[in-house]
Amino acid sequence: MYWATLFQKCTNLEHIKQIQSQMVITGQFQFCPCRSKLIELCSLPPFNDLPYALLLFRQIQSPSTNDSNAILRGLAHGPNPTRAIAWYRLATLRSPPRVDALTCSFTLKACALVLARSETLKLHAQIVRRGFVADALLGTTLLDVYAKVGDLDSAQKVFDEMPVRDIASWNALISGLGHGNRPSYALDLLKRMIVEGWKPNEVTVLGALAACAQLGAMREVEMIDEYVRDEKLNMNVQVCNAVIDTYAKCGFVDKSYLVFDNMKCRKSLVTWNTMIMSLAMHGDGHKALELFRQMGVAGVNPDAVSYLAALCACSHAGLVEDGIRLFDSMARLGVAPNVKHYGTVVDLLGRAGRLKEAYDIINSMPTVPDVVLWQSLLGACKTYNDVELAEIASQKLVEMGSNNCGDFVLLSNVYAAVERWDDVGRVREAMKDRDVKKVPGFSYIEVEGVIHKFFTSDKNHVKAREIYAKLDEIRIRVIEYGYMAETSFVLHDIAEEEKEIALRYHSEKLAVAFGLISTSEGTPIGVIKNLRICGDCHTVIKLISKIYNREIIVRDRVRFHRFTDGSCCCRDYW
């Protein structure tokens, strides 16, 4: 007790050294159990002196498991967590081994930091062999690590086999599934959690919201938002930020702004940035810039992320002069532009057709342009059919070692748009030689809690017959409104009739048709697409929103398109 009291009073490393000297002089250093606390104190913040901690450890004649764990914990929190994994291996080779449940827990945390999946699997086997599986805390840590290294099958298996679960084990799995590639499982687990009588907390909510954001699961977001308000979790700024972000990612930026405007807790810098970026992705550039101005009035100094969000708003809304003025003001106000800011300005100029200025910006950068900048320029060249600049951008990407299928497809599309079919063939041959695979386009839609995924010309859905019948009906009705297929978006050397057929069954059209036959009149339809929406689909969905009196929200790889009464929030600038 005497030594423990002294440890608590330590404010610098000199105090620790004095206590260690006193323990040695009095002959208690080799026998006092609390010496492990002294080692731990050295190895962790605020002192972070691992070399001295190791020096203390080596002076112990018969180190205990606690002594070894103190070093292990310091290594796990240090700059090189792999050293903790190596220390664990040595501890297991001792005779007897210096290993207990805490040893495994600290090592697992090191595995999570360096995403060491194979080491996690080995450690799991040893946890079972040593009989530590009954430790609920260790089980939760193991589950959490599996989720963080991306092994969701193993995380689920650990969870299912846990003899005792607590709120932390539920949270760890929901968070892992929500941020990983199984968001629908995360929401299922949330429902199961509630049915079994567990009360979700802030951590649960954050994991579930991450799942909703991936899926565009609007109904679930509204339920979680209601729960947050009822349970007063909206006093937590991180939860509020997540609700704002998730509503926006589900296509309802108005609801995001309502949460933002009615926050009960103090808005953080992240809150302002999240709301500005949400407005930017929905094409409301003027409101985003007004919020950026209000941010300064509220006494919150914008950072690099704030400027990036505001520049994105200018890019998506075509506010070219505002964007250039904002970019020019950054350095003057003490925020140094980075490659992302330059990339956004290139995108801003490229979207507006000012390709030469965009090219000059890239060449004038103080740092080496990255792949994204050249891809932005290449995309703009495709929009404006600038073959010469497209070839320059494509060559730069090749020199940088980019093997992205989108780069080849964009160049191919530029050639196809001006009917240079020999060059299209040459690009496609280059793709074959480099074994570049084109990413297939797909769209998905949530209806009554079930996710339905569609590929182009997909006939695998159980309701394929009804979906295609609805598309035929849609085609007749949009033609009555003056629609003509925009065959320029089919970049193949084929007949016009074949081009029309190729356009007719794009994945986003299939998803929207399914939404129309599966939901009641007046219900909004939300679709998520993995690639950029095509121009013909954009035109058709605008008409569908008018003809069928439906609000349709399409989230593509770049931004949101909110279709109402025959128009889109992007104002056809995308």
DSSP secondary structure, 28-89, as one string: -TTT-TTHHHHHHHHHSTTT--HHHHHHHHHT-SS--HHHHHHHHHHHHTSS-THHHHHHHH
> Domain check: are 471 and 562 in the same one?
yes
For residues 101 and 131, what is the distance between their CA atoms, to the nearest angstrom? 9
Tell me the mean pLDDT in the region 310-314: 96
Confidence at residue 115, expressed as pLDDT on a 0 to 100 scale: 92
DSSP lists the bridge partners of residue 554 as 527, 561
> Domain check: are 379 and 411 in the same one?
yes
Using DSSP bridges, classify how beta strands 552-555 and 525-529 pair: parallel, antiparallel or unpaired.
parallel
> Domain check: are 356 and 469 in the same one?
no
> Domain check: are 364 and 426 in the same one?
yes
> Domain check: are 457 and 534 in the same one?
yes
State which residues form the domain around 348: 343-439
> Domain check: are 424 and 474 in the same one?
no
pTM for the model: 0.81
Residues 182-234 have pLDDT tens digits of 888 899 999 999 988 999 999 999 999 999 998 888 889 999 999 999 999 99
Q: Is residue 143 part of a domain?
A: no
Q: Is residue 118 part of a domain?
A: no
Tell me the mean pLDDT in the region 132-156: 90
For residue 46, whether the previous peptide bond is cis, meaning omega lies within 30 degrees of 0, is yes
For residues 77 and 81, what is the distance between their CA atoms, to the nearest angstrom? 7
Q: Is residue 238 part of a domain?
A: no
In degrees, rounded to 5, the angle at the alpha carbon of residue 461 between the alpha carbons of residues 460 and 465 is: 95
> Domain check: are 479 and 398 in the same one?
no
CA dihedral 389, 393, 394, 397 (to 10 degrees): 170
Decide if 106 contacts 69 (C-beta within 8 A): yes
For residues 271 and 244, what is the distance between their CA atoms, to the nearest angstrom? 8
Confidence at residue 181, expressed as pLDDT on a 0 to 100 scale: 81
Place of tokens 């495709």: 382
> Domain check: are 451 and 561 in the same one?
yes
In degrees, rounded to 5, the angle at the alpha carbon of residue 417 between the alpha carbons of residues 414 and 419 is: 110
Any idea which of 318-327, 423-432, 494-503 has the lowest mean pLDDT?
Answer: 494-503
SS3 452: strand
Q: To which H or E segment does residue 95 belong?
A: none
For residues 108 and 147, what is the distance between their CA atoms, to the nearest angstrom? 12
Confidence at residue 483, expressed as pLDDT on a 0 to 100 scale: 87
Q: Is residue 218 part of a domain?
A: no
Burial grade of 204 (CB within 10 A; 0-12, 13-18, 19 or more):
buried
Banded model confidence at residue 419, pLDDT cuts 50, 70, 90:
confident
For residues 345 and 161, what is the distance between their CA atoms, to the nearest angstrom? 52
Tell me the mean pLDDT in the region 81-99: 91
Torsion 110-113-118-121 (CA) sign: positive
Q: How many domains does the chain have?
A: 2
CB proximity list for 357: less than 8 A, separation 6 or greater: 349
Identify the residue with better confidence: 202 or 163. Answer: 202
Any idea which of 26-35, 46-55, 91-100, 451-460 has the lowest mean pLDDT?
Answer: 26-35
> Domain check: are 414 and 500 in the same one?
no
Q: Is residue 408 part of a domain?
A: yes
Confidence at residue 204, expressed as pLDDT on a 0 to 100 scale: 95
Tokens at 188, concatenated:
């299922």
Banded model confidence at residue 537, pLDDT cuts 50, 70, 90:
very high
Any idea which of 159-173, 274-288, 345-359 has the lowest mean pLDDT?
Answer: 159-173
> Domain check: are 475 and 495 in the same one?
yes
Average pLDDT, the chain: 89
Q: Is pLDDT at 12 greater than 80 in this prediction?
A: no
Decide if 506 contacts 556 (C-beta within 8 A): no
Q: Is residue 473 part of a domain?
A: yes
Decide if 443 contacts 507 (C-beta within 8 A): yes
> Domain check: are 347 and 413 in the same one?
yes
Q: Is pLDDT at 127 greater than 90 in this prediction?
A: yes
Q: Which of 421, 439, 457 is the last residue of a domain?
A: 439
Q: Is pLDDT at 499 greater than 80 in this prediction?
A: no
Q: What is the CA radius of gyration of the chain?
A: 29
Decide if 211 contacts 177 (C-beta within 8 A): yes
Q: Is residue 124 part of a domain?
A: no
CB proximity list for 346: less than 8 A, separation 6 or greater: 358, 361, 362, 373, 376, 377
